[in-house]
Structure 1
Amino acid sequence: MHHTTPARPELSSRLHQLLLAGQIGADEPGAVIAVYRDGTLLASACAGLADAPGGAALSPDTMMNVASISKQMTAAAVLLAVRAGTLDLDADLRGLVPELQLSGVTLRNCLNHTAGLPDYLAVAYTVGMPEIEIAALRTFLDWLSRVGAHEFRPRERQSYSNTGYVLAAVALERAAGKPFPLVLAETVLLPLGMTGSFSTTVLGEFSAGMAFSFTRTDSGEFEKETMGVGTVAPVRGVNGDGEVITSLNEFGAWQGFLLDGRVLGEDIRQALLTKTVLTDGRETSYGFGIEHETRAHTTAYAHSGGMWGFSAYSIVDPATGISVACFSNRGGFRSSEAAWTAMHFASGFGDVAGHWYSTQTFMGAQLAVQADGNLAARTGLTEDAETAHWAGGHVWHGADDFARIEAIPTGLAITSWFGITDRYERVEPVAEYPRGLLGAYREPTFDAAYLFEERGDELWLVPPGREPERVLPFGRRHGGWIGETTLGWVLFDGTRAEPVRIGLGTYSTALFRAEREQ
């Protein structure tokens, strides 16, 4: 049983605010992201449309092409056939795929990218052939028959190649005597309960509930990627290197298998995870469709995917049982960065993200978790964030105002460059300002006049001897409202009876309503 940090009840809304809000318009293609514990959906956030404009909103049920993440499932299907005696991982592949002219290539080489075969998509790009054209299986096999040389001897190097996975799917299909998508469904998807998921069989195949994908033009408009739907003849397409269509609600079952080998078997899981060893003895970080990746405190099984405007990323942390998936139908969306940020957020670093205010001085802090586990930290009084680098555990080291940040049971301890440590507590972010704050005030020591006034829908402060400046809403603590300006922090308890306080660092002063002194 995995031990995990309990998720906050508002995890879904916090993921949406952190990763999607302000980035994706309501009428645009977008992204979906989910956090799972032990393969069970824990929280999700969605933004954008499955088809723009006017399509259905993206949801955890929306079916998307996960592209190269499909390689993990292809490898599992091959390994299950090896277990059943239908395939041999180390036999010359020409016995099943005679179109291949090169000797010495095995299924093992294909699954761990050591076959030395050119990537067919890179070839198509180089010669100006549309991807949809070479993605026809007959065209692919015709090209394969004309490949006359290895790029390197098998197992001498590791070079990512979609070609190997297409070959693996062809070999499995021919050994099983049935189409690869059917084999994948019968041996992997259906046993795991992924009953709505499938691999496409023909080019241009589309199913109800699927999202279209979009790329962004130079003018900023979104252009639909047809994926061949309605534009090409429904001929047989390649499989194995991508083409699996699934949803957030079903994908957790696959990640659950990667955690403990459920349903398909621990032997299949271990074979997927085993890192590749090259002929010179070097061990790589890639197994069969699995990249072993470490960022900050998390070492995970990961893989990316991207094709035709779709992007996807999967992360599984065996130490905590937490996993993350991010799918997008919006070209240019950085699914890997969003997924890793969500992973750090869900596995403990999320307790650090947010708005904080000192319990000892007039100072606030706004922290955001980054994909590499570092923090983007700002005091609230500057536009540019500082980077605080993860230093192990729940400690980050930076500079200036954030020389050291440490999560402690009562909140945060933040140490500035000159060695002073303040304790901070979390505050609830706010977007509005209290109208009860408006009015004229006087500072009693110097009899200085201050004015809080409304300009449009913004709050402005007119201080003595300075230009007016906007007061930005920052947070709410103990019923009181906190605002930020370059002059300092503004604290208002929400009543007219108590003075407003304004200050920065160790200094603050009370402002009394002008009418009270008359």
Structure 2
Amino acid sequence: MADIKANLENLFQYIKEKQLLNGTVLVAKKGEILYEGAFGDADMSTNRPLTSRSVFNLASVSKPITATAILLLVQEGKLSLDDYLNKWIPDLPYGGITIRHLLNHTSGLPDYLDLFEVYWDKAKIADNDDLLRYLIKYKPERLFAPNERVEYSNTGYILLALIVERITDMDFADFLQENIFKPLKMTRTQAIGVRKENIEIDDYAYGYVYDVYAGEYVLADDFEESKMVTYLDGMLGDGGIQSTVGDLYLYERALSTGALINDVLLREAYTPPKTEIDTPYKYGLGWIIEDNEEKGQIIWHSGGWPGYVTILKRFMDHEIVIIVLRNKEQDFDFDQHILHAIEQAAFDLPYEIAKERPRLEHAQVLPEDILKRHVGNYALIDHPDLIINVFLENNRLFIKMPGSMKLELHAKTENNFFIRGLTIDVDFTTEGSKELVKIIDGTEVQIAETISN
């Protein structure tokens, strides 16, 4: 493996020189760590550098760990994957949903982010019990019947954390500590809302977003679009685990060696559901599942939360593991470019690497009367039953795509907008009597025409 080590050393030396990544990385093969390193700042206000032991918010890379907690209870005979949700949470106004449906995102439950955007007092910090209370009180409509299709839902993973608490009579965070983190010697890992508990973690990596108006990096707490990081900081299960690349590798090793979950349950975890409507997106019990002609079976998960992008990627047929934790926002496509280069180097394959990090876009502030011109409902021309909603809130323009949370539109010009952190442009045009919105994602363009204003 000497050649692979040399490849990785050369790649990461280049990444460091060109400042292409602000984060930590670990690459291993067949139980041997081939590269572990850190790049950039953990705290931009003091220029404190990241180290390999720096602690990051894992965002949705927390989900495999939540799923592991459930599988431990199944393994102990305290729970069945096909138990109905109402067995453990009888007050919940949704029937026919099983534990399995929550784990593989086939429950049809809507994501909770919009619910809290509408109803929650943003001066307070919400937790899992608040979500349960809101589901019972407001009864948001389910998106589809259980097992109709796969659609990612953070709500399901918070309910899984609540189920762990009801079965074990332990706080979810304490259960993880006693049954996963402590036995695996993951000494730098805990499930906790840093803001909610008002704690300081040694060598913590603070998450930074790019303020498209000021043209500088700021803490996610200080940018209007990302202030949910404060009022949703008490949520655990879908996210909220704080960890390091080294601790995540200990977790991965325990799974891969069978030290944590038995082979029968792991096979179930790595098997996608058979749904009524087939989707190209394959999700098992806590893991995204991919079959690659060149690299074999890939079992992985990524996470995104303002200021953080995380990934734990396992190439099962080659026993290769890649863990990347980032705490400074950059272009999504560029993130994928860097990750692909790391993968190629780990496989001793050729790769291309950019000479510099792309500059993030700067936004204009437009008066409300101009923004109002674009407000309305737009039907996708290729799928007229799917509606795109463009609306104003507090003099800010938002777009909501079908099945997605709302995203803010930032202005390049009066008719051209972009979505921060994603390589997506949204253009408003007029063709004859029709007002159109074009969503441009690289070479893919979706066009919708107005149906109301």
**TM-score normalised by the chain length of structure 1:** 0.60
Which residue is equivalent to 1:266? 263
Per the TM alignment, residue 226 of structure 1 is displaced from its structure 2 partner at its CA by: 4.2
Which residue is equivalent to 2:17? 21
Paired AA for residue 154 in structure 2: N
Paired AA for residue 243 in structure 2: T
| 1:285-338 deviations in Å (ceiling 9; x for gaps) | 210121123556223112110113111011111111111011011122544443
Q: Which has the higher contact order (CA 8 A, sep 6+)?
A: 2
Q: Does 1:49 align with 2:78?
A: no
Change (3 A) 1:192 1:15: farther
Q: 1:66, 1:246 within 8 Å by CA — same for their partners in 2?
A: yes
Which residue is equivalent to 1:160? 152
| 1:225-244 deviations in Å (ceiling 9; x for gaps) | 2499xx99999922110111
> Which residue of 310, 317, 332 maps to 2:308?
310
Paired AA for residue 292 in structure 1: I
Name the SS of the counterpart of 1:150 in structure 2. Answer: coil
Change (3 A) 1:9 1:151: closer
**Across the two proteins, how many residue pairs are aligned to each other?**
344
> Which residue of 196, 203, 210 maps to 1:209?
203
Two-structure CA RMSD over aligned residues (Å): 3.1
Q: Does 1:225 align with 2:220?
A: yes
Which residue is equivalent to 2:320? 322
Change (3 A) 1:12 1:104: same
Q: Does 1:35 align with 2:27?
A: yes
Paired AA for residue 44 in structure 1: E
Name the SS of the counterpart of 1:174 in structure 2. Answer: helix
> Which residue of 171, 179, 190 maps to 2:182?
190
Identity among equivalent positions (%) equals: 27
Per the TM alignment, residue 149 of structure 1 is displaced from its structure 2 partner at its CA by: 3.1
Change (3 A) 1:339 1:192: farther
Structure 1: state its 5+ residue gaps: 354-367, 371-375, 377-518
Change (3 A) 1:235 1:258: closer
Which residue is equivalent to 1:483? none
Name the SS of the counterpart of 1:178 in structure 2. Answer: coil
Name the SS of the counterpart of 2:323 in structure 1. Answer: strand
Q: 1:202, 1:235 within 8 Å by CA — same for their partners in 2?
A: no
| 1:31-51 deviations in Å (ceiling 9; x for gaps) | 112211234422023211111
Which is worse superposed, 62-71 or 206-215? Answer: 206-215
Q: 2:99, 2:160 within 8 Å by CA — same for their partners in 1?
A: yes
Name the SS of the counterpart of 1:115 in structure 2. Answer: coil
| 1:201-237 deviations in Å (ceiling 9; x for gaps) | 5753442222111101113311112499xx9999992
| 1:77-107 deviations in Å (ceiling 9; x for gaps) | 1011012122222222123223421111111
Per the TM alignment, residue 59 of structure 1 is displaced from its structure 2 partner at its CA by: 1.5
Change (3 A) 1:305 1:138: same
Q: 2:149, 2:278 within 8 Å by CA — same for their partners in 1?
A: no
Per the TM alignment, residue 181 of structure 1 is displaced from its structure 2 partner at its CA by: 0.9
C-alpha distance in structure 1 between counterparts of 2:158 and 2:270, whole Å: 20
**TM-score normalised by the chain length of structure 2:** 0.68
Q: 2:191, 2:240 within 8 Å by CA — same for their partners in 1?
A: yes
Change (3 A) 1:39 1:213: farther
> Which residue of 223, 244, 247 maps to 2:244?
247
Q: Does 1:78 align with 2:70?
A: yes
Structure 2: state its 5+ residue gaps: 356-453
Which residue is equivalent to 2:104? 112
Change (3 A) 1:264 1:191: farther
Paired AA for residue 142 in structure 2: H
Paired AA for residue 256 in structure 1: R
C-alpha distance in structure 1 between counterparts of 2:155 and 2:346, whole Å: 36
> Which residue of 102, 118, 131 maps to 1:140?
131
C-alpha distance in structure 2 between counterparts of 1:119 and 1:271, whole Å: 25
Name the SS of the counterpart of 1:21 in structure 2. Answer: helix
Which residue is equivalent to 2:399? none
